[in-house]
């Protein structure tokens, strides 16, 4: 049930070098297939960042994968800063993903064989995930775009001060709302920016005009308009900057998607029981209930569902209930093994409607006896293999177990 999550804060160009590419030359070469050119070639692709808490050399190690192939690691000093947040995302069923530039050449300069280089677009650790929950109501998040300055923040310092961070800035979800401002002889339509439902400023008349068509379009579909924003400053001066595509920049395919919100939503980093405000260091995720017939965004895995419960089979005999261990496919898209599927036998009696089982909260990965215990919520990333020194798993070992909260 791992779902790709594009890390926030990417700037549109890869500027962070990874390390260890020389150990993965064959994998890098395979990425190019028939397009490889010995004099040098490059491609841009999505890269997944996979924490490796089992790594015997560095428990903070973060592997970098492209198209199902490992191509290197984050530098050791960088991995120690990113591993905590990335591990929280992975524990919640997300695959942290960024844009990457891959370059390769054969017999480059005085180096024989293949030379590869990978750079990724990675923001600072405190900027790779939002600091607050996404709106609880049906909503769409506008695609990222150029910066739009919010005006009037100085009138809302009380609402903004709790979001200040030691690092000086953080990303947040905001919502955009059409309001009517009364002038001396007329009214004008502006966009009000709200954070956690509280106004924190407005957009200028010109910038409001750039976004109002999108806000009205989503409102017509009974959806809120959400956007990414940066809150930065100190206790005497705070500013809010929205990063959203203008209405004329939205693709027709984006405008055509309407209806229910996604099944899975990243809702923020941290959380304080005392203040109700987020704190850096942890990530929380909410999973909306699956609705029959609801559209799901491309690339979002279908949640695990219990199917066949109470269904009548041939001659009125109840059919078994089949619970796939990791949705329609196993971890990271691999087909599930027989051990990953549980079949609950039904009695050979005429079917009657019984109590519908509750939907499971998720799937837990269970390691065999003699293996080191992984962190809570950890699941094997794509391509992961157990250490050969660990004892083999029993033939009938149940790797994936459903759990209910």
Please report the domains of the chain, with CATH numbers, ordered by start residue.
3-125 (3.30.70), 139-287 (no CATH), 304-405 (no CATH)
Under a CB-based contact definition with an 8 Å cutoff, are residues 24 and 114 in contact?
Answer: no
For residues 171 and 240, give the distance between their C-alpha atoms in angstroms, rounded to a whole number.
Answer: 10
Lowest mean pLDDT, pick from 229-243, 330-344, 375-389: 330-344
DSSP character at residue 359: P
Under a CB-based contact definition with an 8 Å cutoff, are residues 9 and 120 in contact?
Answer: no
Under a CB-based contact definition with an 8 Å cutoff, are residues 98 and 4 in contact?
Answer: no
Residue 364's nearest CA partner among 399, 337, 322 is: 399
| Helix %, strand %, coil % of the chain (to 5) | 20, 35, 45
* pLDDT (average), residues 264-284: 41
Most confident of 37-41, 44-48, 276-280: 44-48
Query: How much is the pLDDT for 275?
Result: 37
SS3 call for 357: coil
Residue pointed to by tokens 């109840």: 318
**Under the phi-then-psi rule, with left for phi > 0, alpha for psi from -120 to 50, and beta for the rest, what region is 206?**
alpha
**Under the phi-then-psi rule, with left for phi > 0, alpha for psi from -120 to 50, and beta for the rest, what region is 259?**
left
* Chain segment 141-180, per-residue pLDDT in tens: 999 999 999 999 999 999 999 999 888 899 999 999 999 9
Lowest mean pLDDT, pick from 177-186, 298-307, 392-401: 298-307
For residues 395 and 268, give the distance between their C-alpha atoms in angstroms, rounded to a whole number.
Answer: 40
Helix/strand number for the chain, H first, E second: 5, 20
For residues 189 and 176, give the distance between their C-alpha atoms in angstroms, rounded to a whole number.
Answer: 12
**pLDDT > 50? residue 197:** yes
SS3 call for 390: coil
Query: How much is the pLDDT for 355?
Result: 56
* pLDDT (average), residues 258-281: 42
**pLDDT > 90? residue 357:** no
* Chain segment 223-269, per-residue pLDDT in tens: 999 999 999 998 889 999 999 999 999 998 888 865 444 434 444 55
For residues 76 and 89, give the distance between their C-alpha atoms in angstroms, rounded to a whole number.
Answer: 20
DSSP character at residue 19: B
């Amino acid at each position: 049930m791992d779902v790709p999550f594009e890390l926030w804060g990417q700037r549109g160009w890869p500027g962070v070098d990874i390390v260890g590419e020389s150990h993965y030359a064959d994998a890098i070469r395979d990425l190019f297939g028939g397009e490889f050119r010995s004099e040098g070639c490059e491609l841009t692709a999505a890269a997944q960042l996979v924490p490796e808490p089992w790594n015997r050399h560095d428990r903070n190690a973060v592997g970098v994968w492209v198209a199902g192939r490992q191509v290197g690691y984050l530098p050791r000093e960088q991995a120690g800063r990113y591993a905590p947040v990335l591990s929280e995302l992975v524990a919640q069923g997300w695959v942290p993903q960024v844009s990457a530039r891959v370059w390769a050449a054969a017999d480059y300069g005085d180096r024989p064989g293949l030379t590869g280089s990978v750079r990724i677009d990675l923001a600072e650790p405190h900027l790779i995930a939002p600091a607050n929950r996404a709106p609880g109501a049906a909503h769409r998040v506008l695609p990222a775009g150029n910066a739009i300055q919010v005006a009037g923040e100085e009138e809302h310092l009380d609402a903004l001060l709790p979001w200040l961070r030691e690092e000086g800035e953080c990303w947040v979800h905001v919502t955009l709302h059409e309001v009517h401002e009364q002038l001396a002889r007329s009214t004008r339509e502006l966009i009000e920016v709200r954070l956690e439902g509280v106004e924190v400023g407005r957009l200028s008349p010109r910038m409001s005009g750039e976004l109002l068509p999108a806000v009205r379009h989503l409102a017509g579909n009974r959806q809120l308009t959400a956007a990414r924003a940066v809150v930065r400053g100190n206790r005497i001066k705070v500013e809010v900057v929205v990063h959203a595509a203008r209405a004329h920049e939205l693709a027709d395919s984006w405008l055509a998607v309407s209806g229910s919100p996604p099944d899975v939503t990243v809702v923020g980093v941290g959380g304080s029981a005392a203040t109700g405000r987020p704190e850096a260091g942890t990530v929380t995720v909410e999973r909306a209930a699956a609705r029959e017939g609801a559209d799901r965004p491309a690339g979002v895995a279908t949640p695990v569902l219990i199917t066949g419960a109470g269904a009548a089979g041939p001659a009125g005999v109840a059919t078994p209930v089949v619970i796939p261990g990791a949705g329609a496919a196993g971890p990271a898209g691999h087909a599930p093994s027989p051990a990953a599927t549980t079949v609950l036998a039904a009695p050979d009696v005429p079917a009657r409607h019984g109590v519908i089982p509750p939907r499971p909260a998720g799937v837990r990965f269970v390691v065999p006896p003699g293996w080191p215990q992984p962190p809570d919520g950890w699941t094997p990333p794509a391509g992961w293999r157990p250490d050969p020194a660990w004892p083999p798993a029993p033939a009938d070992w149940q790797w994936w177990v459903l759990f209910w909260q």
